[in-house]
Copies of this chain bind each other. A is one copy, B any other.
Amino acid sequence: MKVASGSGDKARFFTQGRWWLKALPVKFKAKMVGMARNIKKLAQEDPRRVFHSLKVGLALTLVSTVLYYPYPVYIYFGFDTVWAVMTVVLVFEFSVGATLGRGLNRVIATLLAGGLGIGAHYLAKLFGRIGEPIILVFLVFLQAAISTFLRFFPKIKARYDYGMLIFNMTFSMITVSGFREDQILDIAQKRLSTIIIGAAACVIVSIVVFPVWAGEDLHNLIALNIEKLGNSLEGFGDEYFKRTGGEESKDDKKFLEGYKSVLNSKNSEESLANFAAWEPGHGRFLFRHPWKLYQKVGTLTRECAYRIEALNGCLNADIQPSSEVGSIIQEACTNTSLESGKALKELALAIKIMVPPSSADSHIENAKSAAKNIKSLLKSGIWEDIDLLKVIPGVTVASLLIDVVTCTEKIAESIYELASKAQFKSVEPTLSPKKLHSGQNQSIKKLVNGPDVGINVRELTLPSPPSENSSTSKASKQRMGV
């Protein structure tokens, strides 16, 4: 019995082994195909990744061609040429701002640490042959502990983290190596030159060849995030009441989930803003563009995204409002979400084309009056005969939508602030504020073209369009004064 099972095991083992061997080329091929697909996907998602990779190769090639191959240059710098190669690899980052920040950090930290290291070297000499190594080791310990601790300061971490690291490294190396070498000044000077050459190569290649500006990325990210919220909101009302009506719409629901990436965008916004602060003026952005304000807009956008997450929770909840309830609040709710969605999309557009976001004002007013409609509907006596439990899901959605309108207003205010600080140009700046507003609206609509035609048509079907002269232009006049 035991033997039989043993030989059976053996046979099974060999059969499985043969299968496995046969399957190997197939598996390998599948793996390769999968990898190729991944590479293609990564490259297509953002072709700048390919350019970045080629740029790093280019900078390295440049530095090694210039420093290694002309014989006199190599003789002069000797072994220190490796520092140029190292600098290129460690300093070249995806965006100009990050590269510039790291390059400056590296050069300045090397300079400072070099100076202090040489000072430490001379200081230690005063303590004689026995005292010297003790003093040097003590200084290295002290410096390493202090510069490591400083890296925990949030402000230093954000902008000078790499500098502190390089300071620590250079000081330790110079102090300790100084113990043996006499030509310490010569070494320090050569190392600094090669590092400057490496850093300069990185900065020049990153600015000249297909530059990637962190500032522009931040600008686009903020606009895109607001647009994503807009898309989700625009679609929400329809989708919600479709489901309430029992319809299933499996297709094309992806845009509803677009807001999800906004929930966790804080870190990327923060680092982009830090990198952008290093960048010189470029394209539409002047030096000292108010990048910090983008973070404020981003924070408010995220707060709005949390509300939309709660709305999405309602979309997937077990309890849905009865069709009776649905039919009552449907129009007002759909309008509120549609109009705040449109407002957000106009706000996103205003950021994109860098004009004051007054074109969103009318949608915000529409959203507010739709929210008012919801409130008055809820006030009315229609509900007396309906079980409150059936009303709850609908009321929750309604109240979250009212909340979303408030968020949208706050986002609009922060963008007005951004527009004023960053001097976003109005389209017709010679007109009086009031004329400017309506004129600008039209010009922007021309710019937007396609999508906004649909919006205009829909506007006509809205329940209570606000009069153009009252609140909208009041709001915009008030804001023009900022």
Contacts and interface: CB of A to CB of B under 8 A. Distances in A.
Interface stretch (A8-16, A17-25, A229-237, A387-395): A387-395
Contact of A165 (B54, B90, B137, B309): B90
A320 B178 CA distance: 72
Interface in A395-411: 395-396, 398-400, 403
Interface string A114-144: 0000000000000000000100010011111
B50 A149 contact: yes
A472 interface: no
Contact of A54 (B79, B145, B302, B307): B145
Given A65-B137, A165-B90, A306-B309, A53 B176 contact: no
A426 B60 CA distance: 58
Contact of A148 (B56, B306, B384): B56
Interface string A171-185: 011001101100000
A177 B81 contact: yes
Contact of A61 (B64, B141, B148, B317): B141
Nearest to A136: B64
Interface stretch (A207-215, A263-271, A456-464): A263-271
Contact of A395 (B143, B379, B396): B396
Contacts of A169: 85-86, 89-90
- A contact face: mostly helix, strand, loop, or mixed: helix
Nearest to A396: B399
Nearest to A305: B306
Contacts of A176: 64, 68, 81, 85
Contact of A378 (B61, B375, B389): B389
Nearest to A60: B144
Nearest to A382: B388
Which 9 residue pairs spanning A and B have beta carbons closest together? A57-B145, A53-B149, A57-B141, A57-B144, A89-B169, A53-B148, A396-B399, A53-B145, A56-B148
Interface of A: 38-39, 42, 49-50, 52-54, 56-58, 60-61, 64-65, 68-69, 74, 79, 81-82, 85-86, 88-90, 133, 137, 140-146, 148-149, 152-153, 165, 168-169, 172-173, 176-177, 179-180, 263-264, 266-267, 302-303, 306-307, 309-310, 313, 317, 375, 378-379, 383-384, 387-389, 391-393, 395-396, 398-400, 403
Given A42-B152, A263-B302, 18 more contacts: A42-B149, A53-B144, A56-B168, A57-B140, A57-B144, A57-B145, A68-B179, A74-B180, A85-B169, A86-B173, A90-B169, A264-B264, A303-B309, A310-B403, A313-B403, A378-B389, A383-B388, A388-B395
